[in-house]
Structure 1
Amino acid sequence: MDLKVSDLSVARGGRTLLETVGFRVAAGRALALRGPNGIGKTSLLRVLAGLQPPRTGRVDPGPDAIAYAAHADGIKPSLTVAENLRFWARVFGGPDISTALEAYALAPLASRPAAYLSAGQKRRLGLARLLVTNRPVWVLDEPTVSLDRDAVALFAESVRQHLSQGGLAVIATHVDLGLDAETLDITPFRPARPRIDPGFDEAFA
């Protein structure tokens, strides 16, 4: 399954950040997004994931094929590591959690409540959720935040395995993951002039 983005315009707070964005990512490939802070990388990823609508354009496939990992880890502190993963596996109809535990070196922590994990351990647990989603498209926003060098290596290997199985990934990151990834600088998609949606209601920003 390929990811196809056509003529996409992205807005935040009623202001158009990016317009006429178009690219294609083939199955088995990764795309690294580049651009200065504040240009709209997070907003673009949220549109890809179906969390906010585009102003114009199309994303194929839709959000049912996409797993999204953002700055929040998406875990419940009161549940153990294993319980968190089992919850997400049930939500997505995913596989047994053992592979996810091993991939992120979480097996020794399986019975520990997430509330007692370090920031890096919580991040590893949040990323391990990707492995129980059964979704071919991974959309990742700065996924290595709070990870040490060894954990970054675990994450990069997890992405490689995903790609080798026919999945694909779109990643916004400033870290060199050592992946054979194409790069897309989204700076050229920034509007030449600020554009405000006249129908935007600030109360719903």
Structure 2
Amino acid sequence: MITLRVTDLACARGPAQILSGVTFAVAAGQALILRGPNGAGKTTLLRTLAGLTPPLAGRIDADPDAIAYASHADGLKAQMSVLENLQFWASVFGTRDPAPAIAAFHLEPLLDRRAGEMSAGQKRRLSLARLLVTGRPIWCLDEPTVSLDAENVARFAAAVTAHLEQGGSAVIATHIDLGLPQAETLDITPFVAKRIRTDDPFAERLA
């Protein structure tokens, strides 16, 4: 079953069109790995899929309430503890006990620590653990392994694998091989929009 279908999608970052003609489908139990050079538009595409940036053209066929987005920003409440952060997000999404998320990212020793006092890697683990309390089947992830050591990259890959085995899906921008057997790769380079300058030095348009 297709959970996310994208057809002829055009995406913009600010006033500039970045991507055009993006087309793909992701089925339940499948991950799609986005590849491309820095600045090609992977973040722009993920933000568009998540509904944070409106598309210029094309279609995104998915239930908007089915998508959970994780960006470079950790999105944590610094004055709250690890447990309080997870309980807060579980309440926002109306989901169950955060214990599976805590176990998946080995957060048990940190439950009482305030998020603002954690290392970059610990914050990233907590940020990714939030995905498990959203209850949403489609994960859109932007460089999720930043600040993670090898052990925690493996934990993240295991969490994604479990999510896929339970019928979820994921679109992940990463340069790391996560070893996901259910993953396909999409190079977005062919979809990068060619831009030319107009008489307006602050404007760009598609060539």
User: Match of 1:184?
Assistant: 186
Report SS of the residue matched to 1:6. strand
CA contact (8 A) 1:15 1:195 kept: no
In the alignment, what sits opposite 1:169?
170
2:111 matches 1:110: yes
Superposition TM-score, scaled by structure 1 size: 0.93
Match of 2:131 in 1: 130
Specify every segment of 5 or more residues in structure 2 that has no aligned partner in the other structure, as ranges.
Answer: none
Q: Determine if the alignment matches structure 1 residue 143 to structure 2 residue 144.
A: yes
Contact between 1:16 and 1:195, CA under 8 Å: does it hold in 2?
A: no
Gap runs ≥5 in structure 1: none
Aligned mates of 1:47, 1:146 — CA distance in 2: 25
Q: Secondary structure at the match of 1:178?
A: coil
Amino acid at match of 1:143: P
TM-score computed with the length of structure 2 as normaliser: 0.92
* Separation in structure 1 between the aligned mates of residue 161 and residue 97 of structure 2, nearest angstrom: 20
The worse-fitting range, judged by mean Cα deviation, of 115-124 and 56-65 is 56-65
Deviations 1:111-161 (A, max 9, x none): 111111111000000000000001000000000000000000000000000
RMSD: 1.8
Q: Which runs of 4+ in 1 moved over 6 A?
A: none
Structure 2 partner of 1:37: 38
Residues 78-89 of structure 1 aligned to structure 2 (within 5 Å): 78-89=79-90
- 8 Å contact kept, 1:50–1:62: no
Q: Kindly state the Cα deviation for residue 193 of structure 1 after the two structures are TM-superposed.
A: 4.0
| TM-superposition CA deviations, 1:156-181 (whole Å, max 9, x none) | 00000000000000000011111121
Name the stretch that deviates more: 54-63 or 131-140.
54-63
Q: Tell me, what secondary structure is at the counterpart of 2:135?
A: coil
How many pairs were matched up? 200
Q: Structure 1's 113 and 39: CA in aligned 2 closer, same or farther, altered over 3 A?
A: same
Determine the C-alpha separation between the residues in 1 that align with 2:38 and 2:152: 24
